[in-house]
Amino acid sequence: MLYYGLTRPDRPFPGLNKRLEIDYDALGRTTALWGPGEPRSGGTPTATVAYDVSASAAAKTTMRKLLSGTGTSAKYVTSYSYDDGLGRTRETQVASPAGGRIVAATVYDGRGLTRAATQPAYNAGAPGSGLLNPVLATLPQWTETLYDTLQRPTAVIERSLAAELRRTTTAYPGADRVEVTPPVGGKTATVMDAAGRTVKTEEWKDTVVHHDTAYGYNVSGQLAKVTDASGNVRTFTYDWLDRRTATTDPDAGTSTNGYDAMGRALWGIDGNGSKISYSYDDLGRRTAQWVGEVSTGTKAAEWTYDTLAKGQPTSATRYVGVNAYTDTVTGYDDSYRPTGTKLTIPTAEGALAGDYAFTAAYDRAGNPIEQAMPAAGGLAAETLALSYTDLGLPKALTSNYGGGATYVKDTLYSQTARLSERHYGANAQVKRSFTWDTVTGWLSRLTTTAKADTATPQIAQDDQVTYNSAGDITRILDAASAIPGTTPGQSECFTYDGLTRLSAAFTTTASSCATGPATGGIDPYNHSYTYDAVGNLTNLTDGTATATYTYPLRARRRCGPTRSPPSPAPAAPTPTATTTPVS
């Protein structure tokens, strides 16, 4: 869409004459948005934006988003951003649940590269009162990035105050090779061709052993072949429009696909010879799925649109034989959020058959404030009511069930808006507390207190979590199971191999996991795991016996590291297992 001068049209919503109206200032900047159902005349803007540009301070942009109410009673949540002279965001600020502000800052070097970025940090000042520009060495969490002379990142360092917590390094030993070494575990190397395409990945378990995956491409640059670390080969074939028409996989066999002139998938045949076909409407939306040919095959699913609102779905149906299971939208609000749905279950399901109607309502920000569920399974119909804080954070959950019930009475948040406490029951009979590590930001403790509304509260859960420098959980201490003067409680311990795969999981009642597994505790176990070159589980030992898994057609990794090469991972084959005692 072209704009001439400062004239910009309002943006219409498709169908039903719904509009998103926008106000601009003399410089063509957005100053207010009026959502559907909010007329500019006499209405309340959905959002407002104000600009404060100064020659002596960072430019400030103030954005307010409507939460609830209208006119003078309207409640907004406000955020602020500060930009430097090059228009880059230097700092963002929002209100803290504890009062004060939550600040996140970005620092740039002389080349315009991001040198440091901070995690949200608390400050007692008022939000929007000015650029804080915090001293990095005083912050509990921030990340520093180093670059080489070619502006390539060479290290990402996570720091607390001035101390280094963990480092991920990236090396460029050649024009075609990139090596990434995480804080824990082996490095991953990527080899590229002259076009910048990945031709090989090396995943190093240690300094000697690595598993390689190779990639080949056709003359159009499409991925045509993948050879994994066990020598399994997958191939991909394309038509002249670079649409994938065939895939050969050692697990799934050979599958083929067909398309129409608009590039829509018309059919697919899997390795077993089963064909799935699709039909579409004039707007290219899928309307039906068939097993076999369209119309003459067996209909598996269908979709309808537009009957309630132009461009919006009306129903989705799944077929099992001749039995239809249908999910229908019964209404939309002005912003096209569903206000009602109906689930229809066929008579073949016996007592479960029938229509189940659900309704929903939303606040001005789009948050659900009411959800009604039908009677089912001997339970009466129920309506849930949800409420939020003045900052738009979830606060309470109540119900009309049984004359009225309180599921969540209150929810509390930390200075940086992390969940800190949740109180359950009308009298807050149960309390769950969440403790977050101030250095890493990871959950470090979770407690549940029963009878919290009495003079004799009881700790029902006290889980204390420890991590390695990569963020993998290494220990969960169940402090609630402690025996005073005897044990600190049962700990679940976890170790990982060089590819960050779980290699051992066991319990102990000792004060450290370093002592190894122990048979004491409330629920002891001792498991160890080994894997093949592509990540398939090969051995599982539970302390008394070993289950050995073999794979007739060795598959790509099923439970390998999170770093995945750029190819689709097919389903792993069903393993066969044998169990032998551990001597």
CA distances in angstroms from 131 to 91, 94, 123, listed in the order given: 7, 12, 12
pLDDT digit string, tens, across residues 565-582: 333 333 344 444 455 544
Residue 298, phi-psi category: left (phi > 0), alpha (psi -120 to 50), beta (remainder):
beta
| Mean of pLDDT values over 296-302 | 97
Task: Give the pLDDT score at 211.
Answer: 96
DSSP string, 335-396: T--EEEEEEEE-GGGGGG-EEEEEEEEE-TTS-EEEEEE--BTTBPPEEEEEEE-TTS-EEE
When pLDDT is cut at 50, 70 and 90, the band that residue 11 belongs to is low
CA 390/CA 76 separation, integer angstroms? 8
Task: Give the pLDDT score at 566.
Answer: 39
CB 193 within 8 A of CB 178: no
| pLDDT above 90: residue 1 | no
| Mean of pLDDT values over 11-34 | 82
pTM: 0.88
What letter does residue 483 receive in the DSSP assignment? B
CA 297/CA 59 separation, integer angstroms? 63
Q: Rg for the chain (alpha carbons), in Å?
A: 29
Structure tokens at 474: 């290494």
| Mean of pLDDT values over 125-139 | 97
CA 56/CA 429 separation, integer angstroms? 54
What letter does residue 161 receive in the DSSP assignment? T
Angle, CA of 8, 11 and 14, to the nearest 5°: 150
Structure tokens at 26: 């003399």
CA 573/CA 552 separation, integer angstroms? 8
What letter does residue 572 receive in the DSSP assignment? P
| pLDDT above 90: residue 551 | no
Task: Give the pLDDT score at 583.
Answer: 41
Classify 72 as helix, strand or coil. helix
pLDDT digit string, tens, across residues 160-194: 999 999 999 999 999 999 999 999 989 999 999 99
Tally of CB atoms within 10 A around 403: 6
Task: Give the pLDDT score at 546.
Answer: 95
Mean pLDDT of all residues belonging to the chain: 91
Q: What share of the chain is helix, strand, coil (3-state, %, to 5)?
A: 5, 50, 45
| Mean of pLDDT values over 11-15 | 51
CB 469 within 8 A of CB 160: no
| Mean of pLDDT values over 105-111 | 97
CA 71/CA 74 separation, integer angstroms? 5
CA distances in angstroms from 290 to 253, 274, 474, listed in the order given: 21, 11, 48
Task: Give the pLDDT score at 560.
Answer: 35
Where are the domains positioned within the chain? 274-376
pLDDT digit string, tens, across residues 351-363: 999 999 999 999 9
| pLDDT above 80: residue 488 | yes
Task: Give the pLDDT score at 557.
Answer: 40
**Residues contacting 566, CB < 8 A, separation 6+:** 198, 215, 223
Task: Give the pLDDT score at 16.
Answer: 54
When pLDDT is cut at 50, 70 and 90, the band that residue 37 belongs to is confident
Task: Give the pLDDT score at 17.
Answer: 63
Angle, CA of 100, 101 and 106, to the nearest 5°: 155
